[in-house]
Amino acid sequence: MAPNATGPAAAANDLLPVVPLFGARILYPGVVLRLSLRDGDAFARLDDNALVACVPVVPSPPPASAAPASGDGAENQDADAPSSSKALVPRPKGTHSPEQGRQHAVTSDQLAEYGCLGRIVKTVRARIGPVHGSIVLVEGLTRVHVDFISAHADPRQLYASVSLLYDSDIPDTDTNLANKVTAVRQTALALVAHLQSSLSASAVRDLRALLQSAPADQLSFALVGLAELSADDRITLLSQDLPDRLDLILTSLRRRLDAVNLAASIRDKVGDTLSKKQRELLLRQQLEVIKKELGELDGSGGMNSRDAGNDDVRDLEQRLADGKYPVHVVQHVEKDLKRAKAMNPAMAEYHTLLNHADWMLSLPWTTVSPDAMDLGAARAQLDADHHGLEPVKTRILEFLAVRKLRDALHGPILCLHGPPGVGKTSLGKSIAAAMGRQFARIALGGVRDEAELRGHRRTYVGAMPGVVVQTLKKAGTRNPVILLDEIDKLGRDPMRGDPAAALLEILDPEQNAHFTDHYLNVPLDLSQVLFVATCNSLDTIPRPLLDRMEVIDLPGYTPSEKTAIAATLLAKQHERHGLPANTVRIDPDAMQHLLFNYTREAGVRNLERSLATICRAVAVEFVGWRDQQTVAIATPERGESAKAPPFTKTVRVADLRDLLGGPKYDDDVYLRTMVPGLAVGLAYTGLGTGSVLFVEATQYPGKGRLQLTGQLGKVLQESGHLALTWLRTHAHALGLVATASDLLWADRDVHVHLPAGAVAKDGPSAGVTLATALVSLALGVPVRRGVAMTGELTLRGDVLPVGGIVEKALAAHRMHLHTLVLPERNRKDADEIPKEVRDELTIVFCAHLSQVLRVALDTPPTLTLPDVDVGATVRYYAPKL
């Protein structure tokens, strides 16, 4: 076909990049088209304002087998094509669907002869389906004839030499042409009037305005959607001059108008007999047309973005077809996609629907990892990962054994309870490895909103599934081991639902087979998931939640356990720092020094950090040594042996200061307990660790008042008052006042302080320590060095049991204290203290404060209390005293 004869034809000076356009997405003058280009597509990166030739790809001929024996087959098309458009790049075998065209090079003979000169208005980086790419807006400038196409080094990129085609102004004398323009406008207006019941008022207004204002030469282009032009006609339109274009669009508009009239008359006739489904179909078809039209007319390329959007829908449909999903999931996704298809992609809800479908298809509905239930291998795995922890490992193996016997067992949920760094998280990982399952972790610390666990309803802006669903997606199987980390730090906000309630459902085997995430809104089976929780403290876990779990205590490690673990950790650090095995050795004295003066902790986290610091420092020395070796080997005349012994570094006590800085802890417990009025207590912190607590008491002239400082909670303050009351009550028996009616410190004030002042403290277990400090002050007798105590005190001087005995004993042992005063009723708990620690401590059980004083004070008071037989009731666990 010759270039347009009615307008001036001008050849563009330069070769223009060709943007091939597939299907119905065609650029016309006056229209803005939105293109989705994936990274890797030809021209994925086009500069703003660049000129391009947008040329439609001619729909593929039928496959060879279906083609006529002779005539217009693919070969003949090639033969008929102008010589300039011969394939200059190899043509891939087979036919081209739009999708294929994306991935393979488009050949010049697949391109139409006419296209449109486009200018890049804007390029925005975006996600195109699953990959990165760009959204490019191209503005159509004028029609072009493609004169010549040449290939580029990249076979996917074609360049074209084009002639620009302009329409001449309609001369006043050409009434025929003016009449055609009027006829097109009127027919289109009539069509809009017929369709207006299914259009919004603003859409009708916009359409009418456009019909009145669109210039004659762009009118037909603006109406391709309304006229429902076929794919071939849309391409033909680019090659036609103005009168032919007007004829083509007028014919199509009239055909559509007739169809709409016919549909209306059928509808009238059939009336109410139309079934609901038919009505829906009809409405959807109408909606489709209207939206196509709107997309094209609003200039944002809505129609084309719809095509781009359809790609996403197609991707999801493909995933749905390829994957294995339960019926209810398939139904849900199909519903989502059906609704999305009927929508303009510019609508927010469109993306909501696709996101939802994407989430549904990403979850492991049917993928399970087979359980490797070899108990021997499980034991080996646990032993390889963790030194010691015998009771914990035994419990885990029992758990696995029962699970092996009863596959569908709704077993208890294990809760690993202990201070930081004792290996709770890594035990969770070992359990997963031992069972051959995937491992995933949910950090519950600070989760205050139920929706964080259960997701937001889809109606919320930016709604997402909850962490449970997200974690399951990450795990990729429906039976992973999920670690609910720090379950004791679960927050609570009365305004935002109770996350503990959601957790209750998640952990309840009766309910979790039908767990419903608000976002997904379909039941999700969590019954195959093995949940393992961790916590530092049991006090803050809501009771119903705690009842649902079986608590396994990890109270902390003894020095010998830590020394053994250090060997594993050191080997790990060698690997992490690229050091050959056994390069760093730690002398046993240095290890003890490291444990006592640098990392006095229940777990081994700081120990691991210190070992990492040591390895880093040694790595510097090692690199220097290795470089020297290389030089020595290269220059043997210097006399060094080519085979030097391997580099090793033994860390001794004296090296620790250089490697780690000064000690972080010292023997302050001993230094601080040399004066009367100072006692050492044992506390159990919210982190699940035992620690040493000092009580300082002093007195000065005043009015008999008691002052308590050190950020003490209400219970602790009351314990202080109680201790003073006991002392005053028994002041006469202790020989502190002359007669029973005299008040001790009537003209003095007493100040009791518990360092560290910045740390809040509370609880009743410091009662005996407070009383001991006050008695020591009143008698002027210091508390024995190395003695620590714990126990609640009653007004009568009885000592009541307290919690965290094992942790407190480990803390006392860490601080090198030798005697532990415990409540008599905690005797059973002392059996839990590791033997190694028990053997090195003297543990005294007391039922009454008078017994405590007798053990604790350097010079025990000559106390004769009528109701207590001191000698008979003081019992020693390991009587070394």
Task: Enter the tokens of residue 326.
Answer: 């339960």
Task: Enter the tokens of residue 309.
Answer: 């959007």
Question: What are the angstrom distances between the C-alpha of 13 and each of 51, 112, 162?
Answer: 12, 21, 9
30 is in an annotated binding site: no
Considering only 106-114, 360-368, 414-422, 865-873, which stretch makes contact with ligand ATP by CB under 6 A? 414-422
Min. distance of Cβ 421 from ligand ATP in angstroms? 5
Considering only 71-79, 256-264, 422-430, 701-709, which stretch makes contact with ligand ATP by CB under 6 A? 422-430
CA–CA separation, 812 and 806 (whole Å): 10
Min. distance of Cβ 562 from ligand ATP in angstroms? 9
Q: Which is nearer to ligand ATP, 345 or 804 (CB)?
A: 804
Q: Is 336 in the site for ligand ATP (CB under 6 A)?
A: no
CA–CA separation, 745 and 737 (whole Å): 9
Task: Enter the tokens of residue 500.
Answer: 């503990």
Binding mask 518-557 for ligand ATP (x = CB under 6 A): ----------------x-x---------------------
Task: Give Dmax (Cα) for the chain.
Answer: 134
CA–CA separation, 191 and 647 (whole Å): 90
CA–CA separation, 323 and 396 (whole Å): 35
Min. distance of Cβ 746 from ligand ATP in angstroms? 50
CA–CA separation, 714 and 711 (whole Å): 10
Identify the bridge partners of residue 126 per DSSP, sorted by sequence position.
Answer: 133
Beta carbons of 716 and 762 less than 8 angstroms apart: yes
Considering only 19-27, 354-362, 369-377, 424-432, which stretch makes contact with ligand ATP by CB under 6 A? 424-432
Is 426 a residue of the active site? Answer: no
133 is in an annotated binding site: no
Min. distance of Cβ 564 from ligand ATP in angstroms? 8
Choice among 85, 765, 776, 850 that is catalytic? 765
Q: Which is nearer to ligand ATP, 180 or 387 (CB)?
A: 387
Question: What are the angstrom distances between the C-alpha of 401 and each of 382, 386, 411?
Answer: 14, 20, 11
Q: Which is nearer to ligand ATP, 15 or 612 (CB)?
A: 612
Question: What are the angstrom distances between the C-alpha of 478 and each of 227, 402, 470?
Answer: 51, 20, 12
Q: Is 386 in the site for ligand ATP (CB under 6 A)?
A: yes
Give the 3-state secondary structure percentages of the chain, helix then strand then coil, rounded to 5. Answer: 45, 20, 35
Beta carbons of 583 and 647 less than 8 angstroms apart: yes
Considering only 110-118, 167-175, 418-426, 466-474, which stretch makes contact with ligand ATP by CB under 6 A? 418-426
Taking CB positions, which residue lies at the least distance from ligand ATP? Answer: 423
Contacting ligand ATP (CB under 6 A), which of 149, 184, 250, 389?
389
Contacting ligand ATP (CB under 6 A), which of 60, 527, 568, 717?
568
Q: Which is nearer to ligand ATP, 389 or 414 (CB)?
A: 389
Min. distance of Cβ 448 from ligand ATP in angstroms? 20
How large is the C-alpha radius of gyration of the chain? 42
Min. distance of Cβ 536 from ligand ATP in angstroms? 6
* Tokens 């609570």, located at residue: 492
420 is in an annotated binding site: yes
Q: Is 425 in the site for ligand ATP (CB under 6 A)?
A: yes
> DSSP E strands: which ranges in 710-841?
748-753, 787-789, 792-793, 799-800, 819-823
Considering only 77-85, 168-176, 415-423, 489-497, which stretch makes contact with ligand ATP by CB under 6 A? 415-423
Contacting ligand ATP (CB under 6 A), which of 101, 118, 345, 421?
421
Q: Which is nearer to ligand ATP, 98 or 388 (CB)?
A: 388
Q: Which is nearer to ligand ATP, 165 or 552 (CB)?
A: 552
Min. distance of Cβ 561 from ligand ATP in angstroms? 7
Is 850 a residue of the active site? Answer: no
Residue type, 707: Q
Identify the bridge partners of residue 843 per DSSP, sorted by sequence position.
Answer: 820
Beta carbons of 53 and 157 less than 8 angstroms apart: no
Q: Which is nearer to ligand ATP, 689 or 772 (CB)?
A: 689
Contacting ligand ATP (CB under 6 A), which of 112, 340, 382, 422?
422
Min. distance of Cβ 833 from ligand ATP in angstroms? 18
Residue 116: partners with Cβ closer than 8 Å, 6 or more residues away = 26, 27, 28, 29, 53, 54, 55, 140, 141, 142, 143, 144, 238
Question: What are the angstrom distances between the C-alpha of 374 and each of 428, 479, 507, 629, 870?
Answer: 17, 17, 26, 48, 57
Min. distance of Cβ 831 from ligand ATP in angstroms? 22
Considering only 60-68, 598-606, 659-667, 865-873, which stretch makes contact with ligand ATP by CB under 6 A? 598-606
Q: Which is nearer to ligand ATP, 389 or 811 (CB)?
A: 389
Total of residues contacting ligand ATP (CB under 6 A)? 19
Write out the H or E segment, with its range, that includes residue 573. Answer: helix 559-576
CA–CA separation, 400 and 169 (whole Å): 86
Q: Is 423 in the site for ligand ATP (CB under 6 A)?
A: yes
Contacting ligand ATP (CB under 6 A), which of 96, 424, 728, 730?
424
Min. distance of Cβ 603 from ligand ATP in angstroms? 6
Binding mask 601-620 for ligand ATP (x = CB under 6 A): --xxx--x------------
Considering only 201-209, 239-247, 386-394, 758-766, which stretch makes contact with ligand ATP by CB under 6 A? 386-394
Q: Which is nearer to ligand ATP, 496 or 576 (CB)?
A: 576
CA–CA separation, 485 and 681 (whole Å): 31
Which burial class, exposed, middle or buried, applies to 174 when counting CB atoms under 10 A from its CB (0-12, 13-18, 19+)? middle
Which burial class, exposed, middle or buried, applies to 395 when counting CB atoms under 10 A from its CB (0-12, 13-18, 19+)? middle
Min. distance of Cβ 487 from ligand ATP in angstroms? 11
Q: Is 573 in the site for ligand ATP (CB under 6 A)?
A: no
Residue type, 848: H
DSSP secondary structure code for residue 597 in this structure: I
Question: What are the angstrom distances between the C-alpha of 159 and each of 39, 114, 326?
Answer: 19, 14, 49
Binding mask 426-465 for ligand ATP (x = CB under 6 A): x---------------------------------------
CA–CA separation, 666 and 655 (whole Å): 17
Give the pairing type, strands 523-524 and 515-516.
Answer: antiparallel
Q: Which is nearer to ligand ATP, 221 or 557 (CB)?
A: 557
Q: Which is nearer to ligand ATP, 422 or 484 (CB)?
A: 422
Instruction: State which of positions 123-182 bind ligand ATP (CB under 6 A).
Output: none
Q: Which is nearer to ligand ATP, 161 or 689 (CB)?
A: 689
Q: Is 387 in the site for ligand ATP (CB under 6 A)?
A: yes
Question: What are the angstrom distances between the C-alpha of 850 and each of 779, 790, 865?
Answer: 14, 14, 8
Considering only 91-99, 420-428, 656-664, 869-877, which stretch makes contact with ligand ATP by CB under 6 A? 420-428
866 is in an annotated binding site: no
Please name which of 378, 6, 395, 25 lies closest in space to residue 169, comparing C-alpha atoms: 6
422 is in an annotated binding site: yes
Q: Is 420 in the site for ligand ATP (CB under 6 A)?
A: yes
Choice among 180, 292, 649, 808 that is catalytic? 808
Q: Residue positions in the annotated binding site?
A: 418-425
For the annotated catalytic residues, the residue numbers are 765, 808
Q: Residue positions in the annotated binding site for ATP?
A: 418-425
Contact set with ligand ATP (CB under 6 A): 386-389, 420-426, 534, 536, 565, 568, 603-605, 608
